[in-house]
Structure 1
Amino acid sequence: MSVQQETHGFQTEVAQLLKLVTHSLYSNKEIFLRELVSNAADAADKLRYKALSNADLYQGDGELRVRLSVDKDAGTLTISDNGIGMTKDDVINHLGTIAKSGTAEFFSHLSGDAAKDSQLIGQFGVGFYSAFIVADKVTVNTRAAGEAQAVQWESNGEGQFTTAEIEKAGRGTDIILHLNEDEQEYLDDYRLKAIVSKYSDHISIPVEMWQEGEAEREQEGETIPATEGKWESVNKATALWTQSKSDISDEQYQEFYKHVSHDWEDALSWSHNKVEGKQEYTSLLYIPAKAPFDMWNRDNKHGLKLYVQRVFIMDEAEQFLPQYLRFVKGLIDSNDLPLNVSRELLQDNKVTQSLRTALTKRVLGMLDKLAKDEDKYNTFWSQFGNALKEGPAEDMANKEKIAKLLRFASTHNDSSAETVGLTQYIERMKEGQDKIYYIVADSYNAAKNSPHLELLKKKGIETLLLSERIDEWLVSHLTEFDGKQLVSVTKGDLGLDDLSDEEKAEQDKQAEENKPLLERFQTTLGAKVKEVKISQRLTDSPACIVAGEHDMSSQMVKMMEAMGQEAPEQTPVFELNLEHPLVQKLADEQDEARFDQWANLLLSQATLAERGSLKDPSEFVAQLNTLLLDLSK
């Protein structure tokens, strides 16, 4: 009986979500049972963990389980557990809001396509609300372990919910679904058993349904006595990772992945491994096909589920994989960690560090194997490539293995897709080439069309085209691969001496013959440039700017400024293409004022091509307009 009833309004985002649900946005309705059974199993896991330090929490009920029961007359389906339960505050906070779920991101992902949008259930912490897919009213009766007072939550999913204090015999939660008239199929025992078998066979606690007893009957002249009804498990109730790999089907692995990740799509690959010896642990690791919505939110935790001797300890244990592998889903079950393990202990535990090393090696091996399937790896890279690019800076011990897994766009392909690996690049290198050339720019087109590539294109030398924000950070830590140095085409000399023809041999002669012109540019531009020299890299453009070999690149400067850090002033080297008609014309220019205007215009053009912006665009426009007016006279 209720003592006092209170009415509350849903969080705005929940009200919006429920409106979508009740209007049948989701096409695969049976997922509601998967979500509610998974939540019930999680409640049991949490009780088991808390009971490690307080055994009294187990009092008043027997073995942990989930039960499904139907009342066909009332049209209700009840999902009950005897897990951790909830207090009144828990009920209001957990069932009245989408806690920590990134609601803005959730709604930005909705497409209006029922099949696609159904994939979002669970992934955003909204699994409970899937109950309203099939029910026009939901009642939750719950009592927290160790508490005497129970509470009831009830809503028809239309903007409000009520809470009331009630009496409940034992701990745990009962979710009572008052089914819509057209959802009566979920009152059928066979239908429910089929759904449990499909989605929840792997859950490590029993999912039970009531089996009616049989009346006394005669059979072949013998009286068969009546049997009493009883609760029977309808799932295997064995932790999937404890079973032999040969006994687990691909479908079971995929369903377990969806359980631990709340993803709808199948995983790209997985690795189930049991280690015995100095360390004993079992790991089940998955590579997803799609990035979670919060992967780039640094405040959100990512990690594996941790079990110790099959006892659930925590979600999102970050200590077992480095941050650049935060997309990996799955679990680890260790026999070497103490049951009362804490987050602080995990951070400094030598066993944890050893497990982290082993699991990192295993994931990199999974990715190396996945890379042999080009289509699957391209799917992986499109979702998680930028995370993997963080690896060389974070994991020095595995830098070479990570570098082998990286993919880039390049001048070899006329596509912005990042599909070229460093191993492939080396296999295609020109005879005598001993460096890997790359360019970092703001966009793929800016990189592809950069004047710095002109000589390389002419000589047929492949260049990696880097245009992601993380790329400058990557190449600052990945300086070589397989003994080959990575060289930016925008910094210092290209080192093409061994590849050049007679052009290189004539460079010194050209420099001497054109020394007056170079000095004239240097005098005119003054402190704006570090040096004026003849370009090795240009064939079509009149000029370009180049960072010194040990200077910070313009992309790194932008990155620092974007992070609010002050970057040191960079003075570029100014390179001239003596074959360009514009430069040849300036060599004969007698009017110092006009020479000054043209020299500064060429510098501004080169700066714009390299950096994508100018400190004073209005000055550039004024220079250009002045010269255009002179030409029109």
Structure 2
Amino acid sequence: MNTKHTHSFQAEVAQLLHLVTHSLYSNKEIFLRELISNASDACDKLRFEALNKPELYEGQPQLEVRVSFDKKARTLTIADTGIGMSEQEAIDNLGTIAKSGTKDFMSKLSGDQKADSQLIGQFGVGFYSGFIVADRITVESRRAGLSASEGVRWVSGGSGDFEVEQIERAERGTSITLHLREDAEEFLNAWKLKQLINKYSDHISLPILMEKEEWKEGENDQPGDMVKTGEWETVNQASALWTRPKKDITPEQYIEFYKNISHDSEAPLTWSHNRVEGNTEYTQLLYIPAHAPMDLWNRDKKAGIKLYVKRVFIMDDAEALMPTYLRFVKGVIDSADLPLNVSRELLQESRDVRLIRDGNTRRVLSMLEDLAKHDRHDAAAVTEGDVVDVVSEDDKAKEGKYTQFYSEFGAVLKEGLGEDFGNSERIAKLLRFASSTSDGLTVSFADYKSRMKEGQEAIYYITADTLAAARNSPQLEVFKKKGIEVLLMTDRVDEWALNYLTEFDGTPLQSVAKGAVDLGKLQDEAEKKAAEEAAETFKPTLARLKQALNNEVEDVRVTTRLVDSPACIVVQDGGMSAQLARMLKQAGQPIPQSRPVLEVNPEHPLVKKLEGSVHFDDLAHILFDQALLAEGGMPEDPAAYVKRVNALLV
């Protein structure tokens, strides 16, 4: 005799269920999408495991999902003929959440119920969405390959615990029965269910079946009703969306497919659906999301590309198909050339995979170039010759989308400068920056070059922690005075990325915070001569400053880059910027031993006051600490800085 065992939910599941049953009511229908998606995944897993173990089909190779309901019992059942679960798998899969992202899911719940409900599938907890409409859920399952006596029944009311017992179950797969709440009876309607299946799950490559109904007249003046006929019919297209002719797919279907594979509640910015022919044949359906996921900066997170081989699902997150810097791209690749038993190890080594990866990279960059072309009309259109045809949106609909893309993903795109040398030129053309003469992320390198002053020999830029810090940096003073534009770079990745980009279209990139300022032909001979004379006159003071700051600076020198400020910090050419050093320190990383250069403005009253001052050493340290503060740094000893300033004020 089988006995029931009661188990407690993992604490995070209990918390999640409380939120689901008490908060996420504004978009109830998403539960059906999630449960059908899970059923489809179970069938995909069986198909994949059966490649090496065909006996798992148990003589019944048909893979399908069935949706049925019972009005009297007020139940809705989603059943599949997929891989199924053993008793232990039911306990593990339905009683715990083995994802570190669950706590992040909890923290993301905002009070916007519609948006919150869309988060459920994104964190791998789609099964629990059933409790949005049900006060009790019964799951019956048997894993393919186990005996009929090793079935399992799982029952829970969505509170603190669940019951599990072993049952006889002849058929493999899983059936999930929802005991609906009174306010969810709308889902006991065949028309309503078909509408939702067509809306959310039409792209599922498996047949989704429902029992046919016909109208039966009532007797003795009783109203008629729809009754089931015993026949089952397929209510979805039952073909993978990416395999259909593009002319037969509406934009709404593309968008709904994206939402299903990405668990995103918003439409993507753009997509591209292509059949690539040549040495390697494959179909690609790639999407660029409208917003960045919260784990965008987790480089260990695998890419969002699903791999199919001859329409057989092989794996989620096939990281070998997309470079890391394009990890935000979602979509599907269906290859005709890879072996059906391909593994992650084979993916890393396969020549065909490298060709697919290169093709995907080119396609995504082309999508971005197309967005940029219609967002900024000075960009050149780029064509690609290895694609049969392309699905594109109306050009007008793309207006403004590249600006939106760049604000979300621009910092990640910059990683490509160091990762993808073959496409670094294309990536550089897609980059956008703020500048000292413009607002917002609107300036490309090409824009900058078109506005360079006659005689200007470099593209000048500065890196800083914030836009305000960059815009107000003392190091920009001479550039502002002469009307020379400087690009303002404030992403954490900028300093690293620009190590791999030393020029653009033949023009070198020069940091205004590294090395001595050299404006070349933009600085007239009179200015150069005045600077040389000032350096000579000020030489004794420079020597005293260097002695006073002996342990803190590499050198002290006169500069022409300052106009209103007394001093600034610079690093030697090839040295590490103060911003990068701060980031490494915050991350607990070792920092190479190096000291900055202090540059002083000999025309500033505070610098002039140094000569003959009885407080020379204190003024020297105040100059240095203020220069650090101006660049977003902190004095090594803030208390000593305050003490020196107070003493001079008194």
TM-score range, shorter chain: over 0.9
Is the 1:257–1:330 Cα contact (8 Å) retained in structure 2? yes
Distance 2:449 2:559 in 1: 26
Compute the displacement of 1:611 (Å): 5.0
Distance 1:610 1:72 in 2: 70
Is the 2:473–2:630 Cα contact (8 Å) retained in structure 1? yes
Match of 2:624 in 1: 603
Is the 2:531–2:559 Cα contact (8 Å) retained in structure 1? no
Counterpart mapping for 1:484-503 below 5 A: 484-501=507-524, 502-503=526-527
Distance 1:116 1:27 in 2: 9
Q: Once the two structures are superposed, what CA deviation does each residue of 1:79-117 show, in whole Å capped at 9, x if it has no partner?
A: 010011111122112111223151221111111121221
Compute the displacement of 1:467 (Å): 2.3
Q: Once the two structures are superposed, what CA deviation does each residue of 1:544-581 show, in whole Å capped at 9, x if it has no partner?
A: 12111122222232233334332222222221112211
Counterpart mapping for 1:352-367 below 5 A: 352-367=353-368
Compute the displacement of 1:449 (Å): 1.3
Is the 2:456–2:520 Cα contact (8 Å) retained in structure 1? no
Is the 1:26–1:117 Cα contact (8 Å) retained in structure 2? no
Is the 1:561–1:567 Cα contact (8 Å) retained in structure 2? yes
Compute the displacement of 1:57 (Å): 0.7
Counterpart mapping for 1:99-498 below 5 A: 99-100=98-99, 102-148=101-147, 149-212=150-213, 229-374=230-375, 375-414=400-439, 417-498=440-521
Letter of the structure 2 residue corresponding to residue 155 of structure 1: S
Question: Aligned to 2:111, what secondary structure does the other structure show?
Answer: coil
Match of 1:544 in 2: 568
Is the 2:514–2:573 Cα contact (8 Å) retained in structure 1? yes
Structure 1 runs not aligned, ≥5 long: 216-226
Compute the displacement of 1:299 (Å): 4.0
Letter of the structure 2 residue corresponding to residue 295 of structure 1: L
Compute the displacement of 1:407 (Å): 2.2
Change in CA separation of 1:62 and 1:357 when aligned onto 2, cut-off 3 Å: closer
Q: Once the two structures are superposed, what CA deviation does each residue of 1:571-608 show, in whole Å capped at 9, x if it has no partner?
A: 22221112211122223x2x4x4222222221222233
Is the 1:285–1:330 Cα contact (8 Å) retained in structure 2? yes
Is the 1:45–1:312 Cα contact (8 Å) retained in structure 2? yes
Compute the displacement of 1:176 (Å): 0.3
Distance 1:173 1:101 in 2: 26
Match of 1:219 in 2: none
Distance 1:119 1:34 in 2: 11
Range with greater deviation from structure 2 (563-572 or 315-324):
563-572
Distance 1:303 1:50 in 2: 22
Question: Aligned to 1:229, what secondary structure does the other structure show?
Answer: strand
Match of 1:218 in 2: none
Letter of the structure 2 residue corresponding to residue 334 of structure 1: S
Question: Aligned to 1:151, what secondary structure does the other structure show?
Answer: strand
Compute the displacement of 1:387 (Å): 1.5
Is the 2:417–2:501 Cα contact (8 Å) retained in structure 1? yes
Letter of the structure 2 residue corresponding to residue 443 of structure 1: T
Aligned partner of 1:619 among 608, 628, 640:
640
Question: Aligned to 1:478, what secondary structure does the other structure show?
Answer: coil
Match of 2:585 in 1: 561
Letter of the structure 1 residue corresponding to residue 572 of structure 2: G
Range with greater deviation from structure 2 (339-348 or 373-382):
373-382
4+ residue stretches of structure 1 with deviation over 6 A? none
Compute the displacement of 1:27 (Å): 1.0
Range with greater deviation from structure 2 (288-297 or 330-339):
288-297
Letter of the structure 2 residue corresponding to residue 262 of structure 1: H
Compute the displacement of 1:385 (Å): 2.0
Question: Aligned to 2:373, what secondary structure does the other structure show?
Answer: coil
Letter of the structure 2 residue corresponding to residue 579 of structure 1: E
Distance 1:545 1:577 in 2: 12
Match of 2:2 in 1: 3
Distance 2:445 2:602 in 1: 34
Question: Aligned to 1:506, what secondary structure does the other structure show?
Answer: helix
Letter of the structure 2 residue corresponding to residue 114 of structure 1: Q
Range with greater deviation from structure 2 (205-214 or 125-134):
205-214
Is the 2:571–2:597 Cα contact (8 Å) retained in structure 1? yes
Identity %: 57
Letter of the structure 1 residue corresponding to residue 321 of structure 2: F
Letter of the structure 1 residue corresponding to residue 527 of structure 2: E
Distance 1:607 1:75 in 2: 70
Range with greater deviation from structure 2 (430-439 or 393-402):
430-439
Distance 2:302 2:130 in 1: 27
Match of 1:510 in 2: 534
- What's the TM-score once normalised by structure 2's chain length? 0.90
Is the 2:602–2:608 Cα contact (8 Å) retained in structure 1? yes
Distance 1:525 1:267 in 2: 55
Distance 1:489 1:554 in 2: 13
Compute the displacement of 1:420 (Å): 2.6
Is the 1:308–1:333 Cα contact (8 Å) retained in structure 2? yes
Compute the displacement of 1:205 (Å): 0.7
Compute the displacement of 1:295 (Å): 2.5
Letter of the structure 2 residue corresponding to residue 162 of structure 1: E
Distance 1:362 1:195 in 2: 33
Compute the displacement of 1:62 (Å): 4.3
Range with greater deviation from structure 2 (551-560 or 514-523):
514-523
Compute the displacement of 1:41 (Å): 0.8
Two-structure CA RMSD over aligned residues (Å): 2.0
Compute the displacement of 1:622 (Å): 2.6
Distance 1:242 1:231 in 2: 25
Distance 1:71 1:523 in 2: 89
Range with greater deviation from structure 2 (430-439 or 232-241):
430-439
Distance 1:609 1:203 in 2: 58
Q: Once the two structures are superposed, what CA deviation does each residue of 1:304-354 show, in whole Å capped at 9, x if it has no partner?
A: 100011110011100011111111101111111111111111111111111
Question: Aligned to 2:645, what secondary structure does the other structure show?
Answer: helix
Structure 2 runs not aligned, ≥5 long: 217-227, 376-399
Distance 2:580 2:72 in 1: 69
Change in CA separation of 1:484 and 1:35 when aligned onto 2, cut-off 3 Å: same
Distance 1:322 1:151 in 2: 42
Match of 1:89 in 2: 88
Letter of the structure 1 residue corresponding to residue 421 of structure 2: M
Is the 2:275–2:283 Cα contact (8 Å) retained in structure 1? yes
Compute the displacement of 1:162 (Å): 0.9
Change in CA separation of 1:600 and 1:462 when aligned onto 2, cut-off 3 Å: same
Letter of the structure 2 residue corresponding to residue 492 of structure 1: G
Letter of the structure 1 residue corresponding to residue 642 of structure 2: V
Is the 1:101–1:124 Cα contact (8 Å) retained in structure 2? no
Is the 2:475–2:561 Cα contact (8 Å) retained in structure 1? yes
Question: Aligned to 1:330, what secondary structure does the other structure show?
Answer: strand
Match of 1:223 in 2: none
Distance 1:598 1:553 in 2: 25
Change in CA separation of 1:387 and 1:248 when aligned onto 2, cut-off 3 Å: same
Question: Aligned to 2:522, what secondary structure does the other structure show?
Answer: coil
Distance 1:617 1:293 in 2: 35
Letter of the structure 1 residue corresponding to residue 629 of structure 2: L
Distance 1:133 1:271 in 2: 35
Distance 2:557 2:98 in 1: 61
Is the 2:302–2:317 Cα contact (8 Å) retained in structure 1? yes
Compute the displacement of 1:214 (Å): 8.9
